[in-house]
Structure 1
Amino acid sequence: MKGALVYILLIATLLPTVSPWGTIAYYHVNKDYIARVLCENRDKPQLHCDGKCYLAKQLKAQQDRQDKETTERVQNTPLLQLFCQANLPFQFRSVLTVLASVEFSAYTFPSYVAPMSGPFHPPQV
């Protein structure tokens, strides 16, 4: 069961990349019919087109369809903004000012308190 699922997913993933090959294979299998009925140059046998004009049209149409689908998919993709950076002023303080404001004791150490504001906070909507 897992093997069948793997093959189905593999074919579904690779189908868009091999679809031009399917068009070419269809042309080679039905070359006589295409040259006799669908070819634009069937009245001019000296050109030796043999349905290549039909193949070129089909491949171009298929490429245009894929380009259009890709463009629509890209345009309809929602934009997700992950980061928001606020322009906060940064203040430099000298080392002596910082050390003078901290009280050191051999017995008690000040407990760390996380800053409530500043550059490390969740984005505000």
Structure 2
Amino acid sequence: MRPLISYILLFAVLLPTLSPWGTIAYYHANKDYIAKVLCENRSRPELHCDGTCYLAKKLKAQQDKQDKETTERVQNTPSIQLFCESTCLFDFTPVSRFRTVVPFFTYVVAAFSRPLDGLFRPPRL
């Protein structure tokens, strides 16, 4: 059961990557119909288009749709604030002597470096 679920999840993740291949496979399976009915250059057989214009148009439309979805997803992504201004409501510094105030930010400088000095030393002979 686990391998089946893992293959399904892998396929679901790779599906957006494989969608252009589906369009190309559809084109090759229906090449005669596309060349006779859907091709823009069917009235000019000397170009030997054979429906590649239709394929290019479909691939371009897919790429544009994917780019638009990606842009919307990036624009709607919530932002995470990594730094807190000095007027922050929560200050987690245990002792004020470890706090260094910079014009806009408050951060802890080497709060726990002293206890580690006793642990990391060369061995005694």
* Partner residue, 1:34: 34
Could you tell me the percent identity over the aligned residues?
Answer: 69
Structure 2 residue runs of 5 or longer lacking an equivalent are: 87-93, 101-105, 109-125
RMSD value, Cα: 2.4
**Which blocks of at least 5 consecutive residues in structure 1 are unaligned?**
87-112
Q: TM-score, normalised by structure 1?
A: 0.69
Q: Which has the higher strand share?
A: 2
Which structure's relative contact order is higher, taking Cα pairs within 8 Å and 6+ residues apart? 1
* Counterpart position of 2:16: 16
| 1:2, distance to aligned residue in structure 2 (A) | 1.1
* TM-score when normalising by structure 2: 0.69
Match of 1:48 in 2: 48
Q: Secondary structure at the match of 1:49?
A: coil
Provide Cα deviations, 1:23-82, integer angstroms capped at 9, x if missing partner: 111101110010011001111111100000000000000000000000000000001112
Q: How does 1:1-125 map to 2 (within 5 A)?
A: 1-84=1-84, 86=86, 114-115=95-96, 118-119=99-100
Report how far residue 83 of structure 1 moved.
Answer: 1.8
Shift >6 Å, 4+ stretches: none
Larger gyration radius, structure 1 or structure 2: 1
